[in-house]
Chains A and B, each alone.
Chain A
Amino acid sequence: MTIHRVIRKVQRFEGWFGGGAVLCLIAGLYLGLIGSPPDYYQGEVVRIMYIHVPLAHTSLLGYTVLAVGSLWYLWKRDPIVDNMCQAVAALSAVFTALALGTGMIWGKPTWDTWWTWDARLTSFTVLLLILIGYLMLRTFVDDPEKEARYGAILAIVGFVDLPIIHFSVEWWRTLHQPQSISMRGVSISSGLLVPLLFMSVGMSLLFSYMLMVRTQLLYLDRLLHAKKGRLLSQFHLSKSDS
């Protein structure tokens, strides 16, 4: 099965992704804001976790998709995959910036500071810079093939930041709390875990839906430009013939 068929099959369920995201987010927001108990130590402010953690998880998922897509592009040179990579990079940058922003808001009442050069925060900021760099690089190169190739190489090199983000709370002594869900088990109560799971699934579905819409948008934009360009060149050719 070619990647084209996979993309086409997935695109057919675009509405299901959007609907699923809305349902999961409604359930997650209701449980997170109203149904779940406050934390014994942080109190009500723990509810920020239900928006911050899913945003952070989804941005990491987005970058993983970008890295895998970039590898695929370098192997097959498929322009549709490159289109998807460009779409996923912009969305990942938005999700990463929002994860950092909500984390800063959570940091103020819990750590009494908006920002600290903690290992997790710094490595996450590096991820945002890589994504912004990727998007900027694509605007500097005129040749579409070179633009896609250079972007793919940068995305694959930048993937080294993901394990650093993941293990930063274990490798260094940080203000950021260790992972609550890991291979060693789950260290948060079910009252807090259920809304977190709903929000995480909802955010991943929302990201997938947004990715489909953005890929479609970039494709249509390029199609329109290409067709307009072809019509214009035909018009010029006919003029020069006559």
Chain B
Amino acid sequence: MTNLHIRWGGVCIVATVLIVLTYHHYRDNLASLAPRQVKQEAPAGDIRVLGMVQGGTLETHGVGKAAFTLLGESASLPVQYEGPPPDNLRELKVLILIGRWNAATQIFEARDIGIVPNYGFIAGAYLLGLLPLALLLFAMNRRVHCLYEEIKASKLYEEE
């Protein structure tokens, strides 16, 4: 095993550890339910619901309080929000709501609002930015190694 392989083996291990750590960090944020699933399954505890704020339904009741209807996959969900003043709450905007489903009142009680994370774009950008550089550097390192070997094998390094 040459130094080249040891060095690049290390890079591969570090990259794998970073990918696993990042996946674990965002694993909880990757899963979300649609309004239809919330109504059908009535899950208990805190859940994340993905949908669009229906136009003409947003009503604000003071700072950090709002009521609206969330649309998604041909189902709608009445929502009551109470929490920090939301920056991104607008009609026709796709949002992630965090809160719990109240089966008795049939209202989703949201306590936090976030925008859709777009992890696909982030992963795509990092792959496009780093993978070609790593491949190019590996190819160059290998070529330098091969050139040295070729020069040694052909004894061209000796004075002619």
**A contacts, CB < 8 Å to B:** 22, 26, 29-30, 33-34, 38, 40-41, 43-45, 47-48, 51-52, 55, 94, 98, 101-102, 105-106, 108-109, 206, 209-210, 213-214, 216-217, 220-221, 223-224, 227-228, 230-231, 234
- What are 14 inter-chain pairs, A to B, with CB distance below 8 A? A33-B18, A34-B22, A43-B88, A45-B122, A48-B122, A98-B129, A101-B128, A102-B125, A102-B129, A109-B118, A217-B143, A220-B144, A221-B147, A223-B156
Q: Which residue of B lies closest to A33 (CB)?
A: B22
Complex contacts, B128 vs chain A, CB 8 Å: 98, 101-102, 105
What's the minimum C-beta distance from A189 to chain B, rounded to whole angstroms?
Answer: 15
Complex contacts, A44 vs chain B, CB 8 Å: 117-119, 122
How many residue pairs link A and B with beta carbons under 8 A? The number is 103
CB of B116 closer than 8 Å to a CB of A: yes
| Separation of A231 and B158 alpha carbons in the complex (Å) | 12
- A52 lies within 8 A of B118 (CB): no
Complex contacts, A38 vs chain B, CB 8 Å: 117
A interface SS class:
helix
Complex contacts, A220 vs chain B, CB 8 Å: 144, 147-148, 151
Closest 5 CB pairs of A and B: A44-B117, A51-B129, A220-B147, A43-B115, A48-B125
- B144 lies within 8 A of A213 (CB): yes
| Separation of A41 and B115 alpha carbons in the complex (Å) | 9
Given A109-B118, A230-B160, 6 extra CB contacts under 8 A: A26-B18, A29-B126, A51-B129, A94-B133, A102-B128, A220-B147
| Separation of A94 and B140 alpha carbons in the complex (Å) | 14
CB of B42 closer than 8 Å to a CB of A: no
